[in-house]
Amino acid sequence: MELNSGDQNQPPQDDDQQPKRRRRIWNRPREGLGTSRIQHQAGDPLRADGGNPAYVEWLRKQSMLGDASVIGRGLAGRSSMWRNTYAMPDPRRALNAASVWFTTYPAAFITREDQSFLAAIADEELWDAFEQIGIGAIHTGPTKLAGGIVGWQFTPSVDGQFDRISTRIDKQFGNETEFQALADVAEQYGGIIIDDIVPGHTGKGADFRLAEISYKDYPGIYHMVEIPEEDWDVLPEVPEGGDSVNISPESEVILTQKGHIIGSLQRVIFYEPGVKETNWSATRPVLGVDGKVRRWVYLHYFKEGQPTLNWLDPTYSAMRLVTGDALHSLGDLGASALRLDANGFLAAERGPDGQPAWSEGHPLSHAANQFIASMIRKVGGFSFQELNLTVEDIRDAGLAGADLSYDFITRPGYQHALLTGDTEFLRLTLRTSLEAGIQPVSLIHGLQNHDELTYELVHWESRHMHDEYEFRDDTITGAQLAATIRGELQHALVGRDIDYNLVFTTNGIACTMATVSAAALGVTRLEQIEGEVTDAVRRAHLLLAAYNAWQPGVFALSAWDMLGALTVPRGDVAGLIGDGDTRWIERGGVDLMGVNPEATHSPAGLPRARTLYGSLPEQLADDASFANRLRELISIRERYRLPFATQLDVPDVSDPALLVLVHRLDDGDPTATDAQLQITVLNFANRPIVGTIRSEQLPPRRLVSSAVDRETIGRVDDLHSFPVSLGPHEAQFLLVGGEDVPTQAIPIITPDQAL
């Protein structure tokens, strides 16, 4: 029989010739193993979007929220979390840690070759100099990584390191080990280190990119809203090479009407026509982890690269992120205190129809500040806030929030007084502060910092714009007062053909304290500052230092102040000020210790500023130097424990250039009503003054003496007054009665003595 070779491998067939399937005789391994969740990509494994798990995981490892989760788990359940009281702010506790602060700006610090910023400020020679002068704290400024991430690449900061994206130290400033070493050196000198956190926003780093691709609870970090695709026509196109674009006021109105966003805010900070006309920006289309393409609109109070955090999202992601960053600085790095940057903008709520959203002075903002400050106190630190709002907002935020507040109340006032030779506005701001219940002991009275001379007129032009004030023998509204002061500051600092200061958007004027002093003296070109003009600038600068040092609270000064730095030519920073951020002219590189005289730029690339006073070692060898005069101011302040005193009066004056502050040296004890009195007397004019000091707080028939030379200068008469004489831009620290001065000018004669 022949067999068909093709039949032997055919499955059996039934009658209608259909093949039958073989029955399975074993189980495949899959039955026991199941299916894994591994996904293989057919596309580019290096693509940077939500469809690439490798990219998503890389972002997650870079994120601040991820670090915060690790830090939080490590501290949960520890008894150390319950050893400190935390409910109420305590400014005098903070002052006991250090009442004179040196504030730095890392990008401007010139170091030795191949030395990091953190290593430079940990140098014991620097701390020896600080110890001589009386400085007890260094505020480092922001040193953590800032900027953004585009694809797999990190991008630089868009706002001077205030767009933080990581808990890691930026390698251009050093590393974590060097920060820890700095904290150890400070402790050896009885000092402390103060770091920064940014509770209002981040940069566009890993956290923002994860939010864009809708990864887990990351969108809850930010005030960002997914816009339905049918409304994308309202959004502007993102320019080539960009990742977002500011929306127009017209688009803002439409998106508000559609219920997507809360609309315009009370003001647009960093307003720039065609650049930032609203506080909202739209992202490009972004592929999410779920395969969906989205466009978001996100809030940014400041620059486009600084997305605003959402403190009232159900995930509480922003709260966790900021808390983790704070605990990292206090625990891992060893800082003792933290600055809360721009902490007045932590909430936004839709306003009544047709009205701007409520974005300043919001109760949620106060609550968020209380949460942050309480956590810092709970682990043994303290905090201070940078809150440029109304006086009431500063007071209310400090009731349970930060321990100290930056003196945004009187800072423009003392600069205005120097520029005009008239202290009336300064006296008004000081009295307004006292009437609101803010004692200067709770404030940080500072010279220059990284920011511009901010007008800081929000109090007068917002809540109190319709209130009436007596000013220059006239009755004007708060809005008129603000307009007057702004106009006079602009005229004095950038008018009159002055070429060395620049207006900074709508917020203020870019300048240094030395160039403020120069403008007050009528200098229109920096080349004019030499010889006697330099001496006059230093004298005016020292007057500003005395104003800040000779009142209760913290006295803060920067490297720019210590060296008398001038602004740099605008052409030298043309690439940095092109977007309208003119503050870079005031952030010139400075070599505080004279360690690198040949350097033309700081390691971060900022051009070296011209300085008037010489390096710190050079100044300490010269008795008449700015640094040694500063040492005298601080020594007197500390000797009489003025930082802890109570301010009693800001009296009227006999000459418009005079300022008089009356303090009780009571260490904050309200029952010590018989404590010695101290009087700070300042002449804000470049001319001599002979006048009269009068205050109802001055007890009659007490002698008045100078704390500098211990000489008696007069006695308080029955009208609570005494005469005074001051030279141009002179400051006097006077004492009334007390241990160093007899309490009675006329002795009491007993009957026996009379016989």
Residues 551-593 have pLDDT tens digits of 999 999 999 999 999 999 999 999 999 888 999 999 999 999 9
489-514: average pLDDT: 93
Q: Residue 8 above 60 pLDDT? A: no
pLDDT tier for residue 29 given thresholds of 50, 70 and 90: low
What pLDDT shows up at residue 342?
Answer: 85
Spatial distance between the Cα atoms of 60 and 391, rounded to a whole number of angstroms: 41
| CA distances in angstroms from 538 to 54, 165, 301, 670, 707, listed in the order given | 58, 40, 37, 38, 22
Spatial distance between the Cα atoms of 516 and 630, rounded to a whole number of angstroms: 18
Closest C-alpha to 546, from 517, 512, 519, 587: 517
Spatial distance between the Cα atoms of 117 and 593, rounded to a whole number of angstroms: 13
Q: Which residues contact 480 (CB under 8 A, 6 or more apart)?
A: none
Q: Are 716 and 586 in contact (CB under 8 A)?
A: no
Q: Looking at per-residue confidence, does 705 or 745 come out higher?
A: 705
Give 4's Cβ-side CA count (13 Å radius): 4
Spatial distance between the Cα atoms of 56 and 60, rounded to a whole number of angstroms: 6
Q: Is 174 left (phi over 0), alpha (psi -120 to 50) or beta?
A: left
- How many residues are there in the chain? 755
Give the Cβ contact number of residue 754 at 10 Å. Answer: 6
| CA distances in angstroms from 474 to 428, 470, 471, 484, listed in the order given | 14, 6, 5, 13
What pLDDT shows up at residue 468?
Answer: 97
What pLDDT shows up at residue 750?
Answer: 63
φ and ψ at residue 427, rounded to 5 degrees = -65, -35
What pLDDT shows up at residue 26?
Answer: 55
User: What's 263-281 look like in SS3?
Assistant: CCCCCCCCCECCCECCCEE
| CA distances in angstroms from 733 to 147, 441, 655, 661, 748, listed in the order given | 46, 18, 18, 10, 29
Q: Residue 269 above 60 pLDDT? A: yes
419-451 pLDDT, tens digit per residue, is 999 999 999 999 999 999 999 999 999 999 988
Percent of the chain scoring above 70 in pLDDT: 92
Give the Cβ contact number of residue 234 at 10 Å. Answer: 19
Tokens, residue 107: 């990008």
Give the Cβ contact number of residue 624 at 10 Å. Answer: 9
Strand-pair partners of 194: 139, 337
Q: Residue 33 above 70 pLDDT? A: no
Q: How far apart are the first and last CA of the chain?
A: 166
Mean pLDDT lowest among 192-196, 218-222, 740-744, 747-751: 740-744
What pLDDT shows up at residue 35?
Answer: 52
695-723: average pLDDT: 94
User: What's 661-700 look like in SS3?
Assistant: EEEECCCCCCCCCCCCEEEEEEECCCCCEEEEEECCCCCC
Q: Residue 2 above 50 pLDDT? A: no
pLDDT tier for residue 40 given thresholds of 50, 70 and 90: very low
Q: Which residues contact 430 (CB under 8 A, 6 or more apart)?
A: 409, 410, 413, 650, 661
Tokens, residue 579: 């977007």
Query: What is the H or E stretch that residue 736 is in?
Result: strand 731-736
Closest C-alpha to 388, from 431, 344, 441: 344
The per-residue pLDDT of the chain, averaged, comes to 92
pLDDT tier for residue 507 given thresholds of 50, 70 and 90: confident
Q: At what angle do helices 478-494 and 411-420 cross, to 10 degrees?
A: 60
What pLDDT shows up at residue 18?
Answer: 57
Q: Are 581 and 95 in contact (CB under 8 A)?
A: no
471-487 pLDDT, tens digit per residue, is 999 999 999 999 999 99
φ and ψ at residue 701, rounded to 5 degrees = 70, 20
Closest C-alpha to 483, from 517, 504, 506: 506
Q: Residue 270 above 70 pLDDT? A: yes
What pLDDT shows up at residue 387?
Answer: 83
Mean pLDDT lowest among 353-357, 429-433, 624-628: 353-357
Q: Residue 242 above 70 pLDDT? A: yes
Q: Residue 737 above 90 pLDDT? A: no
15-38: average pLDDT: 54
Report the chain's C-alpha Rg in angstroms: 31
What pLDDT shows up at residue 3?
Answer: 39
Spatial distance between the Cα atoms of 741 and 755, rounded to a whole number of angstroms: 29
Q: Are 115 and 12 in contact (CB under 8 A)?
A: no
620 burial type by CB count under 10 A (0-12 exposed, 13-18 middle, 19+ buried): middle
377-386: average pLDDT: 95
284-294: average pLDDT: 97
127-147 pLDDT, tens digit per residue, is 999 999 999 999 999 999 999
322 burial type by CB count under 10 A (0-12 exposed, 13-18 middle, 19+ buried): buried
Closest C-alpha to 133, from 482, 753, 557: 557
Q: Which residue has the tokens 């978001």?
A: 296
Strand-pair partners of 554: 444
